[in-house]
Amino acid sequence: MPLKLKSTLKIVLPLLLGVFLVWYSLSKVSLAQIYGYLKTSNYSWIILGVFLGLLSHLSRAYRWRFQLAPMGCNISLANSIMAVFATYLINYTIPRAGEVARASILTNYEDVPFEKGFGTIVAERIADMVVMLCIVGITLFLQFDFIYSFFAEKFNPTKIIVAIVILIVLGGLLIVFIKKSKLKIALKIKAFVNGLIEGVFSIFKMKNKWAYIFHTLFIWGMYVLMFYVTSFAIQPLQGISMGAILIGFIAASFSIAATNGGIGSYPLAIYGAFSIFGIAEEPSIAFGWIMWGAQTLLVIICGGISLIYLPIYNQKKNRKANNNF
């Protein structure tokens, strides 16, 4: 496939999928119904959820400085915050373009070499992936009986056990194959896994490793708490189990990778997760749109201000530095 066509498809396909999913979710629950839930929502909980989301973004910006410091790159906290918000906003237009823009902002305004800045972002994503996998593992452990019972009702329990055993065996064979294979795809997988392991262990070699680990856990703690407290805004969802919250959060988090910023996919993922617990369709999808809309509004406002204020702030900073010199 030509490189230009491949790049175009990477941009166009998520957008088209997002448009389709928006249409599909609105075919399930109308705008009037969503507006009805929005009108009767308790905005105190929504505002608290937005505040917790803001704290997670600020913590991410603060954490980033710990990665850059050992390379001699002592960036200002303001530039770090604005770069993070700019990343989120740009990712709504072109998938993963925000990460490139974030590293470029440091290059332009802090003289940080692009490859160094981008390398820290990749390492950051690895740390986030590890925490996300831990959340998935904890959720599966805590909700194992419920999840097993749910699938046992839908499928034959013997078939489920056989399927799990087959998956474990196939997984083991795949690991052995990848370790011994010289195929291009196997080498890529090995390089990715090695990079993942190296990235995780590099955190423990960091000067401020415990502060970095604290902020990583804090970021994801705020994400989960944000999701949880916002559910109180919608009356039919008040009192839902922590299991539903965790599974809904995991589904919603993975949906963000499917479309730009999770547009369309976010509310449907929440509905799919909540339906396992017998939660009604309308409040589930409405909650998904309210949750997604509140956090998106935060990103649009803070990201927009960041993109506008970045050159102004750095011009003032440079002028002040020149005057002091």
Q: Is the pTM of this model over 0.75?
A: yes
Amino acid, single-letter form, for residue 82: M
Q: What was the pLDDT predicted at 50?
A: 95
Q: What is the pLDDT of residues 208-261, one digit of tens each?
A: 888 988 999 999 999 999 999 999 999 888 888 888 899 999 999 988 877 777
Decide if 276 contacts 25 (C-beta within 8 A).
Answer: no
Quick check: 217 and 131 in contact, CB under 8 A? yes
pLDDT tens, position by position, 127-136: 888 899 999 9
Task: Give me the half-sphere count of Cα atoms (radius 13 Å) on the Cβ side of residue 161.
Answer: 3
Has residue 2 got a pLDDT over 70? Answer: no
Question: In this structure, what are the phi and psi dihedrals at residue 112, rounded to the nearest 5 degrees?
Answer: -90, 125
Q: Is the pLDDT of residue 301 over 90?
A: yes
For residue 218, the model assigns a pLDDT of 96
pLDDT given at position 56: 96
Mean pLDDT, residues 163-176 taken together? 81
Given a contact cutoff of 8 angstroms between Cβ atoms, the answer to whether 211 and 66 are in contact is yes
Q: What is the pLDDT of residue 154?
A: 64
Look at 192-201, 211-220, 258-267 and tell me which has the smallest mean pLDDT.
192-201
Q: Note whether 99 and 87 are within 8 A (CB).
A: yes
Give tens-digit pLDDT for 138-158. 988 888 777 777 666 666 667
160, pLDDT greater than 80: no
Q: What local confidence, expressed as pLDDT, does residue 317 receive?
A: 77
Predicted confidence at residue 151, as pLDDT, reads: 67
Encode pLDDT of 74-128 as tens digits. 889 999 999 999 999 888 877 677 788 888 888 888 888 888 888 888 888 888 8
